[in-house]
Amino acid sequence: MNHKMIFYTLGQILKLEAALLVLPFAVSLIYGEFEILAFVIPIAISVGLGFLLTIKKPATTNFYAKDGFVIVGLSWIVLSVIGCLPFIISGAIPKFFDALFETISGFTTTGATILDGTRIEGLTHGMAFWRCFTHWIGGMGVLVFVLAILPNADGKSIHILRAESPGPQVGKLVSKIRITARILYLIYIAITVTEIIFLVCGDMNLFEAIVHTFSTAGTGGFSTKADSIGAFSAYSQVVIGIFMLLFGMNFNLFYLLLLGNIKSVLKNEELRWYLGIAITATIIVTFNVFYGYDRITPIGETIRNA
């Protein structure tokens, strides 16, 4: 096991987390909330540790499958501990384990929360942004982004990509793993921007559209409202439902679509099972709710809820 390379990669990830924390910090400043210490302290810790771990590049950059899984596991621990600090320092979630739970739930796109409706709607814009942004980061995986920007990412990095990326099968789309990671993230960003545009065309303002798109990307469900997307129009609910289905797909298939290889996409067994299970489950829940419990609710609303 290449311990030096593992710690070097962790250092790169810490520096990346510092860069990511700048975004909610900027949002906080834009809305005049000025939660300076809540973001500056974790940013400083991430930058400091990151530079310490990357001050000397390892002599050998070789690592294998077990190294990839160790990097992924340690990364999520480090990211979560640093990522929960804004909640603690700001007082939004003062208890360490509560804040850690909320952050892990975000990064892992689980969507479970310790916050009640009042506390959710009481979050500042900066904290609400960071909370939902963890879903977006975890949706594709921060390590995939690291591979996209690291200049020395090569074929051996496929072990990280396979350990981190969504979907049961991940392979190199092109010869260089760094280019593969970039393609995956460009597709991810393109779908994100598209959903934001659709939501802004509905009853969401730009901030609400952005944070709910983040939650959709991770299929986790964090929201700025106590009633979640139930607080918005049917149009917004349909848009989120459709894009959540898209974000749950294997992103290799989107790349094949861009290449015009529609036949391979249609023949993909994973996609068939994915859509089949989703459609079947929706039909079952719809009939169960509409005919078994509440025939007062219109069928259209019942389908959306399902």
pLDDT in tens, 182-193: 788 889 999 999
Helix axes 65-83, 142-149, angle to 10 degrees: 110
What is the CA 295 to chain-centroid distance, rounded?
Answer: 36
User: Which residue bears the tokens 């982004």?
Assistant: 145
What is the CA 42 to chain-centroid distance, rounded?
Answer: 20
Which residues in the chain show pLDDT less than 50?
151, 158, 167-172, 175
Side chain identity at 271, as an amino acid letter?
L
Question: Following DSSP, what letter does each residue of 162-218 receive, concatenated?
Answer: HHHSSSS----SSSSHHHHHHHHHHHHHHHHHHHHHHHHTTT--HHHHHHHHHHHHT
Domain extent listing, the chain: 3-267
Spell out the alpha helix ranges (H) of the chain: 3-30, 36-54, 65-83, 85-90, 96-107, 117-121, 125-140, 142-149, 158-164, 177-200, 206-217, 234-247, 251-258, 262-266, 269-292, 299-305
* pLDDT at site 173: 53
* pLDDT at site 48: 96
What pTM was computed for the model?
0.86
User: Which residue bears the tokens 């920007």?
Assistant: 149
* pLDDT at site 287: 80
* pLDDT at site 170: 46
Is residue 14 within 8 Å of 46, Cβ to Cβ? yes
Is residue 165 within 8 Å of 158, Cβ to Cβ? no
* pLDDT at site 63: 67
* pLDDT at site 51: 94
* pLDDT at site 72: 78
How crowded is the C-beta side of 171, counted as CA atoms within 13 Å? 6
